[in-house]
């Protein structure tokens, strides 16, 4: 569930960046040429603020779980590093093979 939420947050960040870049391309000088542009800009700013607060809230909600997971993984790595290293190597290999086959 945490991975899905983090993925969703990253997708929202990417969409937000796309919207900002699109707005910058439309008006490179940053000024509004008409009433519609000002309205769009206000809407985008409100959306950006809402998105930022949602991301911050999600980070706060996930912090205790990620701290526990980090502590657990650190302890496991200290106690028995071989399975962790083999798993990390395997995941990297599979990911590289998957990306290599386009």
Distance CA 11, CA 58 (A): 14
Residue 62 lies in a domain: yes
Distance CA 99, CA 102 (A): 7
Residue 29 lies in a domain: no
- For CA atoms 59, 60, 63, 64, the dihedral sign is negative
Residue 61 lies in a domain: yes
Q: Is 2 helix (H, G, I), strand (E, B) or coil?
A: helix
Count of domains forming the chain:
1
pLDDT, residue 26, reads: 67
**44, 20 contact by CB (below 8 A):** yes
Helical H segments across 1-34, by residue range: 2-26
Structure tokens given for 31: 């000024």
What is the residue range of 54's domain? Answer: 2-23+34-100
pLDDT in tens, 31-55: 545 556 778 888 888 888 888 889 8
Residue 28 lies in a domain: no
Residue 59 lies in a domain: yes
- Mean pLDDT check: name the lowest of 17-21, 25-29, 70-74: 25-29
């Amino acid at each position: 569930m945490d991975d899905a939420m983090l993925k969703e947050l990253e997708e929202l960040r990417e969409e937000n960046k796309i919207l900002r870049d699109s707005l910058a391309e439309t008006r490179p000088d940053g000024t509004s040429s008409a009433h519609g542009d000002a309205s769009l800009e206000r809407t985008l700013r409100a959306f950006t603020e809402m998105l930022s607060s949602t991301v911050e809230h999600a980070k706060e909600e996930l912090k205790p779980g990620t701290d526990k997971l980090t502590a657990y993984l650190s302890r496991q790595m200290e106690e028995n590093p071989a399975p962790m290293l083999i798993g990390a190597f395997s995941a990297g290999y599979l990911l590289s093979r998957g990306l290599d086959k386009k």
